[in-house]
Amino acid sequence: MRGNATIELALILSITVPLLLGIAGVGIRLGRTLDGLQITRDVAHMYALGADFSLSGTQAIARTLSRDFNLSASGNGVLILSRVVKVFQADCNAAGVPSCPNLNQTAFAQRLVIGNSGLRASNFGTPPASYIDTKGNISSASYCKQSTLVASGFDSVLSLAQGQSAYLVEGYFSMPEINLAYFGSAPGGYYVRLVF
Amino acid sequence: MCGLSSKRPVRRGGQRGFVQMFGALMLVFILVPAAGLAVDVGMMYLVQSLLSAASDGAALAGARALSRGSDDAAERANAEATANAYLRANFPSGYMWSTNFNPQSQAATDSDHVRSLTTTASVDLPLLFLRIFRTESTTISATSKATRRDANVMFVMDRSTSLQQSGSCTPLKNAAKNFIDRFAEGRDNVGLLTFGTSSLIDNALSTTFKTATTTTLNNVSCNGSTNTAQGLWQAYTALVNLNQAGALNAIVLFTDGLPTALTQTFSIKATSNCTDKTAKQGAAYAVSNGSNPSGLYPWVGTTQPMSSDLSVLTTATTNNCSFRSTQSNLYKDVVNAPVTDSSGNSLDATGYMSVGHTAGLINLTDFNHGATNAADHAALRIRRGDALTGGQSLANVVIYTIGYMDVDETLLKRMANDASLSPNPVAAGAHGKYRYAGDASQLNDAFLSIASEVLRLAQ
């Protein structure tokens, strides 16, 4: 009977240790997921209320808000900010594009990226850099006619009224070291999308 | 002598398998429930967080949508539908196996000039481990509220000759119409003032403004100089008279150049040919500094919209004045320029441009600089909420400026109190925004940007 206790303990530990590790992993992952969601929400809220995230000072605020993630060019998180508009005729007329090729389509009017842009691209497409100015803005003359500026798939998420705009923030947060759970995004990371 | 003896603990049958049993009990009664609790509570946290974020976004979007519609009822219906759509967009159906997602939104009038949009969303989340306590699911809900202040906006539009010369008059009018269309008819008050050498409130502040302002803008001709100070002060006077301190009061100034014109009451020289030597009030302009001003012109328009203001004053009091035959001969009739214009704006107080003085008056050759300083001073007085002649005033008026082509960007940033200008020697009152359009294709974007700023501030 000698050694029985050791064997029993080993058996128990073989179950409890993975279980405890799993709980810890899920807990840490959950915490970081909640942090990613919160930073995305905070930035989306500020963006919708007029914060200018093309300014380095405002981007610094976003980085400060992000506790668990590094929103630098080589960091482990990225926020993709887009303002999208439903193109309508009056907008095209005012922009001097009466033919309005993108009429009734949802197009990008602004694109800004904070963090490591190499981690993930937007689910709705990436506007060509040639149409984006230093403030991230895309002119109405461009988004009224350039097909590459249409936000593909956005209408299936949200149908905007003519002339209405929406503030879209997509966040992706890489956490390959805690890939014990899966929260519906690409392996190793958490993707969240909020429309304000 | 006693020998040493040792006793080995005797393991009794009742202790056998104790660790196994203890471990099993711990697993069943502590670890697994703890893990289950962690998973269930974690899911609840995650769902609550996303639902809360979704509700927040929906409330803001709904409040923004209060600008769309033909009347209050339509605007509220739009806002509620928009908020519900945003809730659905932000909270995916079946997220974390949730069911019975129930988005609800309610628009309401909180006070005379404030409306709100409240969103409430709830969802049933099935529980995985807590079922052992006979709890199959839990209801999670989130509520958010966003308010929107009504906006009173006086749009002050430069319609000077240079706009016609650059072919920008029509693009400007299109962009202006698109800008005005962004505001909520029935709630927001929007007025239109156009200015050249003289100015006129073509459309008074009104909650039914879209058709009227569109008609006016279609008929505007671009002609005249740039009497910015007078236009700004007239716009401020209109907001003061409306007297709605609870709303967002804003002036949006569009201009394509430096101020060149002023309205003043000029003293007449003893040597002037004017038959009547009493002081004469009128508008004058100088296209560049160093040259004498030309004038005098009527300073307030009478026909709507102003199509031309280049006919000099021809009243009986101006008989034989030199300026009546040749506008540039104004200097033969008038003494130097008074230090303030007819609206009380100072030609030298802010010191933005240098001006020379003679006997307490501004040298006529510095008239152009004086016009720039007067516009700067008018903006400062408006932001400070200075009183009108009758004593009424209005605090917290926000000035937005849109510069087009050859403008002095520093001046327009000073006037708007734009935060990007630091330090701003005339910083006072609320911060507005300055936007620049380099050519006609950028006009619409500049206007939309300012409309967005005004509407965001209204939230």
For residue B8, is pLDDT > 60?
Answer: no
**Residue B116 touches partner A, C-beta closer than 8 Å:** no
Give the span between the Cα atoms of B66 and B75, in whole angstroms: 5
Contact B36, B129 (CB under 8 A): yes
Each residue of A125-164: pLDDT tens digit?
Answer: 999 999 999 889 999 999 999 999 999 999 999 999 887 8
**Residue B62 touches partner A, C-beta closer than 8 Å:** no
The domain ranges of chain B are: 27-148, 150-459
* Residues sharing a CB contact under 8 Å with residue A20, sequence separation 6 or more, in sequence order: B31
The verdict on a CB contact (< 8 Å) between A96 and B86 is no
Backbone angles phi, psi at B331, to 5 degrees: -60, -20
Contact B160, B310 (CB under 8 A): no
The verdict on a CB contact (< 8 Å) between A38 and B46 is no
CA atoms within 13 A on the CB side of B274: 28
The verdict on a CB contact (< 8 Å) between A140 and B445 is yes
3-state DSSP assignment of residue B153: strand
Which chain B residue shows the shortest CA-CA distance from A193? B90
Identify which of A40, A41, A139 has the shortest CB distance to residue B441.
A139
Each residue of B96-127: pLDDT tens digit?
Answer: 999 999 999 999 998 888 899 999 999 999 99
Tell me what the mean pLDDT of segment B81-96 comes to: 94
For residue B427, is pLDDT > 90?
Answer: yes
Contact B103, B82 (CB under 8 A): no
Which residues in chain B (248-267) have CB-CB distances under 8 A to chain A? none
User: What does the angle CA B19 – CA B22 – CA B27 come to, to the nearest 5 degrees?
Assistant: 120
- pLDDT, position A14: 86
Contact B277, B268 (CB under 8 A): yes
For residue B4, is pLDDT > 60?
Answer: no
The verdict on a CB contact (< 8 Å) between A50 and B457 is yes
Q: Is the dihedral of CA B50, B52, B53, B58 positive or negative?
A: positive
How do A165-174 and A189-195 pair as beta strands? Answer: antiparallel
- pLDDT, position B308: 57
**Residue B434 touches partner A, C-beta closer than 8 Å:** no
Q: Is A181 exposed, middle or buried (0-12, 13-18, 19+ CB in 10 A)?
A: middle
Q: Is A128 exposed, middle or buried (0-12, 13-18, 19+ CB in 10 A)?
A: middle
Give the span between the Cα atoms of B31 and B209, in whole angstroms: 68
The verdict on a CB contact (< 8 Å) between A94 and B61 is no
* Structure tokens that stand for A86 in this block: 């439903």
Give the span between the Cα atoms of B306 and A120, in whole angstroms: 55
* Residues sharing a CB contact under 8 Å with residue A7, sequence separation 6 or more, in sequence order: none
Taking CB atoms and an 8 Å cutoff, what residues of chain A touch B442? 139
CB atoms within 10 A of CB B292: 18
Backbone angles phi, psi at A22, to 5 degrees: -65, -45
Identify which of B34, B49, B90 has the shortest CB distance to residue A34.
B49
- pLDDT, position B457: 66
User: What does the angle CA B365 – CA B371 – CA B377 come to, to the nearest 5 degrees?
Assistant: 135
The verdict on a CB contact (< 8 Å) between A48 and B35 is no
Give the span between the Cα atoms of B186 and B202, in whole angstroms: 19
Taking CB atoms and an 8 Å cutoff, what residues of chain B touch A19? 27, 31-32, 35
Closest CA to A69 of A105, A100, A111, A40: A40
The domain ranges of chain A are: 4-195
Tell me what the mean pLDDT of segment B32-45 comes to: 83
**Which secondary structure element, helix H or strand E, spans residue B59, and what is its range?**
helix B32-65
The verdict on a CB contact (< 8 Å) between B82 and A164 is yes
Distance from CA of B196 to the nearest CA of A (A): 23
Q: Is A57 exposed, middle or buried (0-12, 13-18, 19+ CB in 10 A)?
A: exposed
Distance from CA of A118 to the nearest CA of B (A): 25
Q: Which residue carries 């701003």 as its tokens?
A: B424
Backbone angles phi, psi at B200, to 5 degrees: -155, 135
Taking CB atoms and an 8 Å cutoff, what residues of chain B touch A39? none
Identify which of B61, B442, B444 has the shortest CB distance to residue A196.
B61
Burial of B296-331, coded b for 16+ CB within 10 Å and e otherwise, reads bbbbebeebbbbebbebbeeebbeebbbbeebebbb
Taking CB atoms and an 8 Å cutoff, what residues of chain B touch A27? 38, 42
CATH of region B150-459? 3.40.50.410
The verdict on a CB contact (< 8 Å) between B27 and A5 is no
- pLDDT, position A111: 97
Mean pLDDT over the full length of chain B? 90
Identify which of A33, A137, A157 has the shortest CB distance to residue B46.
A33
Q: pLDDT higher for B28 or B138?
A: B138
For residue A178, is pLDDT > 70?
Answer: no
Taking CB atoms and an 8 Å cutoff, what residues of chain B touch A195? 57, 61, 86, 89-90
Q: pLDDT higher for B411 or A163?
A: B411
Taking CB atoms and an 8 Å cutoff, what residues of chain B touch A41? 49, 52-53, 56-57
- Hey, of A97, A100, A158, A168, which one would you mutate to test binding to chain B, going by the most B CBs within 10 A of its CB? A158
Taking CB atoms and an 8 Å cutoff, what residues of chain A touch B49? 34, 37-38, 41
The verdict on a CB contact (< 8 Å) between B53 and A194 is yes
Which chain A residue shows the shortest CA-CA distance from B15? A5
End-to-end CA distance of chain A: 67
Identify which of B17, B35, B175 has the shortest CB distance to residue A23.
B35
Tell me what the mean pLDDT of segment B408-428 comes to: 95
- A158, A162, A165, A166 alpha-carbon torsion, rounded to 10°: -10
- Residues belonging to chain A: 196
For residue A186, is pLDDT > 60?
Answer: no
For residue A182, is pLDDT > 60?
Answer: no
Query: Which range (B147-151, B184-188, B229-233, B268-272) has the least confidence?
Result: B184-188
Burial of B42-78, coded b for 16+ CB within 10 Å and e otherwise, reads bbbbbbbbbbbbbbbbbbbbbbbbbbbbeebeebbeb
CB atoms within 10 A of CB B242: 18
The verdict on a CB contact (< 8 Å) between B20 and A11 is yes
Which strand ranges, in their side-by-side order, compose the sheet holding B137-149? B99-111, B114-126, B137-149
Return the number of CB contacts < 8 Å for A and B: 143
* Structure tokens that stand for B237 in this block: 């006077």
For residue B1, is pLDDT > 50?
Answer: no
How do A189-195 and B151-158 pair as beta strands? Answer: unpaired
Backbone angles phi, psi at A188, to 5 degrees: 85, -5
**Which secondary structure element, helix H or strand E, spans residue B413, and what is its range?**
helix B409-416
Backbone angles phi, psi at A157, to 5 degrees: -90, -45
- B220 phi-psi bin (left φ>0, alpha ψ -120 to 50, beta other): beta
Q: Is B234 exposed, middle or buried (0-12, 13-18, 19+ CB in 10 A)?
A: buried
The verdict on a CB contact (< 8 Å) between B38 and A23 is yes
pLDDT band at B379 (very low <50, low <70, confident <90, very high): very high
The verdict on a CB contact (< 8 Å) between A158 and B447 is no
Tell me which amino acid residue B397 is: V
Question: For chain B, what percent of residues have pLDDT higher than 90?
Answer: 70
Identify which of A9, A15, A158 has the shortest CB distance to residue B85.
A158
Contact B305, B194 (CB under 8 A): yes
Give the span between the Cα atoms of B434 and B55, in whole angstroms: 32
Taking CB atoms and an 8 Å cutoff, what residues of chain A touch B453? 50
- pLDDT, position B367: 97
